[in-house]
Amino acid sequence: MATKETPKQEQEQAKTEGTKTKIVKKTIKRYKAARAVDEKDKIAPQAKLIVEVLAKCKEPQTLKQLTEAALAAGLKTRQEPSRIFTFYRSSLVNAGLVQEILDEVEEEVVVSAQSTKGKPAGKDEKGKKVSA
């Protein structure tokens, strides 16, 4: 039975096998409540719950964190929970209820030693995924 390697171990193994790593910048979206819901705000109960959950959170939340917190707070849906927020996101931002924060982070990506274009390993020259 093979053990699963951590990303750090994979990078170390990649270095010893003649592959290179490259630092890539990535943008992560996080959300926080900008203001409380008023009586004059005409929004769906699911959207209202999302704003209330964000208001209770001390730190801005990623989509995954927000959907987990909304489910814990009683969000009822047959759909994927992230789709609920994605559906209401633009109207909540436009109404000034939710603020979207963009964070740039750097991530180390394994790059094939044969690649001169810096494409991540596991993709062909057109960028399509290649199965092993």
Round to whole Å and give the CA distance between 113 and 119. 10
Q: Which residue has the tokens 């209820």?
A: 97
pLDDT of residue 115: 47
- Block means of pLDDT (10 residues each) for the chain, length 132 residues? 63 64 90 92 92 94 94 92 94 95 88 57 66 56
Query: Containing domain of residue 56, as a range?
Result: 23-111
- The reported pTM is 0.63
Round to whole Å and give the CA distance between 100 and 29. 7
Q: What is the number of domains present in the chain?
A: 1
pLDDT of residue 67: 93
